[in-house]
Amino acid sequence: MEGIAILDELFTGVQSALAPRGPNAEGIATLSWIMFAGAGLIFLLVMALLAFALLAPPGRRGWLADRRMVIAGGIVFPVVVLSALLVYGLALARGLVSVPGEAPLEIHVVGEQFWWRVRYEADDGREPLVTANEIHIPVGRPVRFTLTTADVIHSFWVPSLAGKLDMIPGQANRLVLKADRPGVYRGQCAEFCGAAHALMAFEVVAHAPEAFEDWLRAERQPARAPPTTFQARGRDLFIQSGCGACHRVRGTSADGDLGPDLTHIGSRRSIAAGIYPNNRGTLAGWIASSQHLKPNNKMPSFPVFSGEDLRAIAAYLEGLK
Ligand SMILES: [Cu+2]
């Protein structure tokens, strides 16, 4: 049963290159299958020849040692097969970076130890919209990512949608992808970037185009005022405790830039770069002991709050929809 569950995850999962959900990932998956099948066939052929060489009567296996066999099997065959693969691979790769037709949606993602800063470029001259750790895209429209890093090398990988591309200091890499159907696809940093590297994930949420526009419009709004006195107390604690030195909540005095933008943190599915589900409990736990939950991340734990204060801050953040 365990084995079946793993296979199922492999072919239908939210983070599997074998479960492609867009044309770019599909091209890569097809190439992998061709290589896998080809390698399998060649393996069988070599094993059959080996068995023949070992078991056939000596009089019948002399041709195996013939010089023409060595040239055909050792030079001609690999050159032909590998050249064909190279041509196919290069043609495929060209399709992965070009954007035919429609203007792509431009999203800039910055790798940070150990989270993702996400910026939507506005095409009407407005400021870009900044958020973190959850990337929303419309279905059916190409999206062009500009990938950079604020510190070390990270690697941006959403296996169901596209190949893997590194984020390299001093360089901007471009990745194009398209989602065929609405859904949530998981991504992961794929290059060791420090102690919490394995805890640096994210999600891509693909919406129908109108739903994406709605999301964008809502996300552009400043944070809403706390609706209850308990949440208002949470906001006051948030401001007084200096969270705003690192976090921005648009519409308040918190305008730090070191950590994720929290203006609409309540609407995100997970916290801490895709690691914990987003709810009042995990938010409170994160604030009190972020260093325990994600060792060596750049946010200090805040063990100073009483349980009640912690709940108030968490309720405030949860309400930032
Ligand atoms: Cu990383």
pLDDT at 1: 61
Residues 110 and 203 in one domain: yes
Tell me: do 234 and 133 sit in the same domain.
Answer: no
Give, for all 321 residues of the chain, the pLDDT tens digit.
677 777 777 887 789 999 999 988 999 999 999 999 999 999 999 999 999 989 988 888 888 888 998 899 889 999 999 999 999 999 888 877 777 777 899 999 999 999 999 999 887 888 899 999 999 999 999 999 999 999 999 999 999 999 999 999 999 999 999 999 999 999 999 999 999 999 999 999 999 999 999 999 999 999 999 999 999 999 999 999 999 999 999 999 999 999 999 999 999 999 999 999 999 999 999 999 999 999 999 999 999 999 999 999 999 999 999
Q: How far is the CA of 299 from the centre of ligand 1 (A)?
A: 16
1 Cβ contact list (under 8 Å, min separation 6) = none
Q: How far is CA 78 from CA 70, 89, 140, in A?
A: 11, 16, 39
d(CA 321, CA 318) in angstroms, rounded, equals 7
Same domain flag for 36 and 64: yes
Instruction: Could you list the beta-strand ranges (E) of the chain.
Output: 105-112, 115-120, 129-132, 134-138, 143-149, 154-157, 165-167, 173-177, 183-189, 201-207, 270-271, 276-277
> Are 132 and 198 contained in the same domain?
yes
| Gap from CA of 242 to ligand 1 centroid (Å) | 26
- 314 within 8 A of 280, measured Cβ to Cβ: yes
| Rounded Cα distance, 18 and 16, in Å | 5
Split into its structural domains, the chain has a count of 3
* CA distances, 89 to each of 34, 77, 93 (Å): 11, 18, 6
Distance 109 CA to ligand 1 centre (A): 12
Overall size of the chain counted in residues: 321
Between the CA of 193 and the centroid of ligand 1 the distance, in Å, is 5
109/205 same-domain check: yes
Q: Is residue 223 part of a domain?
A: no
Q: Is residue 177 part of a domain?
A: yes
From 214, 246, 267, the end of a domain falls on 214
Distance 5 CA to ligand 1 centre (A): 28
230 Cα–ligand 1 center, Å: 36
Tokens in use for 295? 């060792």
Rounded CA gap, 192 and 155, in Å? 8
Closest CA to 196 of 113, 283, 275: 113
Output the CA 274–ligand 1 centroid distance in Å: 13
**Which residue range forms the structural domain that includes residue 259?**
229-318
CA of 280 from ligand 1 middle (Å) equals 26
Task: Name the nearest CA neighbour of 238 among 316, 301, 307, 306.
Answer: 316
CA of 152 to the centre of ligand 1 (A): 8
Ligand 1 centroid distance, CA of 194 (Å): 7
- Please check whether residues 10 and 84 belong to one and the same domain: yes
Domain boundary among the residues 183, 214, 245 is at 214
Nearest to 294 by CA among 164, 203, 201, 204: 201
Which tokens sit at 244?
Answer: 């705003």
Ligand 1 centre from 67 Cα, in Å? 52
Give domain status of residue 222, yes or no: no
Ligand 1 centre to CA of 195 (Å) is 10
